[in-house]
C-alpha cells in the first residue's frame, strides 16, 4: 500500500481528468513508463464477469459512496487489507460492514503494534512493541476483530513494517519468524482466520519459513508476493505451499514490466489459474486527493484491458498509468481470477450465497485477441 504524497513524480503533463500528481504517481506505482500514448481499443469497457477486488483499502467513511464507483465498473465485492488506525477503528469498521455492507465488503485486521500514531503509515519512525503485546494483546485483538466481523472479518494482515521498523523491547528488529508470533498465529489457525502477508526484500525468505510452520493456515501473498520479476521463484513457491495464493495487485508493476515476455506471463496465469486473485491495491485516499469517478473508471478499464486483451504497450487516455502490455486470458481463466478463486478462498458464500462463478453472469466481452 502506497500513499500519494510518497510517490509523486513531477515528470510531465498529466492527461485527461487526472492531475499531474495523481497521474505520475500511478504511472510509477503500476509499473508503466508515464508515456502519453493513446488507445482506441474498446473491448475492455467491462470485465467479462463481475469482479471481486481481492486487495484494496476502502475506509469506513467511504463504504457507502464507493459502492457507486464499484457498480459502474462491475466490481461486485472489495476486500480491504488493513487500515492502520487502531483496533477500535478496525472493530467499528468491520462491525459496520457486517451489519450494513456484508454483501459488498470484507476486511483484514492490520495491527499497529501498540502505536497510537495517527500517521502510522506515513511515519518512518521505529515502533517498539512489547512482549506483552505480542504474546497476549495481539491474539486478543485478533479474536475481538473476528468476533465483531463474523464472516466479514477475514483475518490478520502482516505488513512490511515487520522486518523494517518494528523493534522489540531490546531494540532488535522484529522478524516474521520470531517465535513471539506463535500465539497470534495459533489463534488465527484456531479461528480459521486467513493471514495476508506483504513482505519485501530479505523478509521474503523468512515469510516462506513462517508459512512452512503453519500448513493449517491459508495465506495470501500480496502484490505477486513482492516478486513480480521472479516468476521462477513464484512457481517453486506455489508448488511447495498448497495453502498459499497470490493476489496480483501490481504495487511495483506487472511481470510484463519486469522484463518477461508476454507469452511467459500468459503461461504463468494458465499454469496457476486456480491460485491467482485479482487485486488493484486501490486506496480510497488517492480518489479523494487527486481524482474523480471517471478517472477511477479509467483505472479499472486498464485492469480489464491488461487481463482481457493482448494489446501491446497500451495506455488509456483518461488516466496516465504508463504503458502496459496485456496477457490475453481466456474467458474461462478470467472467471477464476476475477471471481471464483476469491469467492472460494475467502469463503464468500457466507455473505453472498449461491453466487459462485459470478452468479451465472456469463455475458462475455468479446476480446480482440488472446495469447495462445
> What's the CA gap between 60 and 170, in Å, rounded?
36
DSSP 8-state code for residue 327: -
Return the SS3 of 321. coil
Query: Which among 295, 247, 329, 303 has a CA at the least distance from the CA of 56?
Result: 247
User: Between the CA atoms of 293, 295, 297 and 298, what dihedral angle is there, to the nearest 10 degrees?
Assistant: 170
**What is the band of 199 on the pLDDT scale with cuts at 50, 70, 90?**
confident
Relative to beta strand 219-221, strand 194-197 is parallel
> What is d(CA 242, CA 195) in angstroms, rounded to the nearest whole number?
14
Quote the cell numbers at residue 334.
478470467
Is-contact 80 56, C-beta < 8 A?
yes
pLDDT at 359 over 70: no
Q: 10 Å Cβ neighbour count for 353?
A: 9
**The pLDDT value given to residue 7:** 31
Instruction: Give how far Cα 89 sits from Cα of 58, 82, 93, 139, Å.
Output: 13, 11, 6, 17
**Residue 283: exposed, middle, or buried by beta-carbon count in 10 A (0-12, 13-18, 19+)?**
buried
* Residue whose C-alpha cell reads 502510522 in the numeric block: 120
CA 165 vs. chain centroid, Å, equals 22
The answer, yes or no, to whether residue 357 has pLDDT greater than 60, is no
Model pLDDT for residues 209-220, shown as the tens digit of each residue: 999 999 999 999
Q: Which pLDDT does position 172 carry in this prediction?
A: 95
Residue 200 reports pLDDT greater than 80: no
Can you tell me the distance from the alpha carbon of 317 to that of 314, in angstroms, rounded to the nearest whole number? Answer: 10
CB 297 within 8 Å of CB 73: yes
Q: What was the pLDDT predicted at 17? A: 30
* pLDDT confidence band for 19 (50 / 70 / 90): very low
What is the predicted pLDDT for the residue at 26? Answer: 43
- Report d(CA 301, CA 46) in Å as an integer: 7
pLDDT tens per residue across span 97-133 = 999 999 999 999 999 998 998 888 788 889 999 999 9
* Average predicted confidence (pLDDT) for the chain: 82
Task: Decide if 144 contacts 69 (C-beta within 8 A).
Answer: no
- For the stretch 274-323, pLDDT in tens is 999 999 988 865 454 455 677 778 889 989 999 999 988 887 666 666 77
What pLDDT, in 10s, does the model give residues 60-96? Answer: 888 998 898 899 999 999 999 988 899 999 999 999 9
Report percent pLDDT > 70 for the chain. 79
* H or E, element range at 282: strand 282-283
**255-267 pLDDT tens trace:** 888 889 999 999 9
**Residue 15 clears pLDDT 90, i.e. is over it:** no
- Crossing angle for the helix pair 182-191 and 138-149, nearest 10 degrees? 20
- β-bridge mates for residue 109, sequence order: 156
Q: How would you label 309-325 residue by residue, b for 16+ Cβ within 10 Å and e otherwise?
A: bbbeebbbebbbbbbbb
Most confidently predicted of 35-39, 63-67, 243-247? 243-247
For cell 483475518, the residue is: 155
Q: Which three cell numbers stand for residue 158?
A: 502482516
Can you give the pTM of this predicted structure?
0.85
Please tell me the predicted confidence (pLDDT) of residue 266.
Answer: 95
Q: C-alpha grid cell for residue 344? A: 472460494
pLDDT, residue 22, reads: 41
Angle between helices 87-100 and 63-72 (to 10 degrees): 60
The DSSP bridge partners found for residue 195 are 156, 219
Q: Find the DSSP H helices in the chain.
A: 4-7, 20-29, 63-72, 87-100, 131-132, 138-149, 182-191, 203-213, 231-240, 262-271, 284-290, 293-308, 331-335, 341-345
Amino acid at each position: 500500500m502506497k500513499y500519494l504524497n510518497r510517490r509523486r513524480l513531477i515528470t510531465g503533463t498529466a492527461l485527461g481528468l487526472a492531475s499531474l500528481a495523481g497521474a505520475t504517481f500511478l504511472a510509477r506505482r503500476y509499473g508503466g513508463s508515464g508515456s502519453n500514448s493513446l488507445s482506441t481499443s474498446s473491448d475492455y469497457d467491462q470485465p467479462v464477469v463481475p469482479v471481486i477486488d481481492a486487495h484494496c483499502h476502502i475506509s469506513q467513511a467511504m463504504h457507502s459512496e464507493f459502492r457507486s464507483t464499484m457498480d459502474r465498473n462491475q466490481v461486485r465485492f472489495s476486500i480491504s487489507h488493513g487500515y492502520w488506525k487502531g483496533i477500535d477503528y478496525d472493530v467499528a469498521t468491520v462491525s459496520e460492514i457486517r451489519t450494513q455492507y456484508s454483501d459488498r465488503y470484507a476486511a483484514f485486521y492490520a495491527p499497529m503494534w501498540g502505536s497510537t500514531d495517527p500517521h502510522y503509515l506515513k511515519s518512518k519512525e521505529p515502533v517498539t512493541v512489547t512482549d506483552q503485546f505480542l504474546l497476549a494483546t495481539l491474539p486478543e485483538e485478533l479474536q475481538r476483530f473476528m468476533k465483531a466481523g463474523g464472516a466479514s472479518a477475514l483475518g490478520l494482515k502482516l505488513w512490511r513494517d515487520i522486518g523494517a521498523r518494528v523493534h522489540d523491547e531490546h531494540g532488535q528488529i522484529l522478524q516474521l519468524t520470531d517465535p513471539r508470533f506463535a500465539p497470534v498465529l495459533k489463534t488465527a489457525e484456531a479461528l480459521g482466520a486467513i493471514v495476508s502477508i506483504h513482505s519485501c526484500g530479505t523478509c521474503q525468505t523468512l515469510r516462506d519459513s513462517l508459512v512452512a510452520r503453519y500448513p493449517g493456515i491459508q495465506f495470501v501473498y500480496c502484490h505477486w508476493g513482492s516478486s513480480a520479476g521472479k516468476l521462477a521463484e513464484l512457481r517453486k513457491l506455489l508448488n511447495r505451499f498448497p495453502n498459499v495464493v497470490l493476489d496480483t495487485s501490481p504495487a511495483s508493476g506487472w511481470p510484463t514490466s519486469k522484463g518477461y515476455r508476454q507469452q511467459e506471463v500468459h503461461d504463468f496465469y494458465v499454469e496457476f489459474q486456480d491460485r491467482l486473485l485479482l487485486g488493484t491495491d486501490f486506496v480510497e485516499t488517492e480518489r479523494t486527493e487527486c481524482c474523480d469517478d471517471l478517472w477511477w473508471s479509467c483505472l479499472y478499464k486498464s485492469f480489464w484491458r491488461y487481463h482481457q486483451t493482448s494489446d501491446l504497450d497500451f495506455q488509456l487516455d483518461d488516466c496516465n498509468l504508463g504503458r502496459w502490455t496485456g496477457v490475453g486470458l481466456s474467458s474461462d481463466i478470467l472467471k477464476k481470477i476475477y471471481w471464483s478463486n476469491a469467492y472460494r478462498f475467502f469463503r464468500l458464500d457466507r455473505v453472498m450465497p449461491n453466487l459462485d462463478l459470478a452468479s451465472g453472469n456469463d455475458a462475455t466481452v468479446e476480446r480482440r485477441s488472446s495469447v495462445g
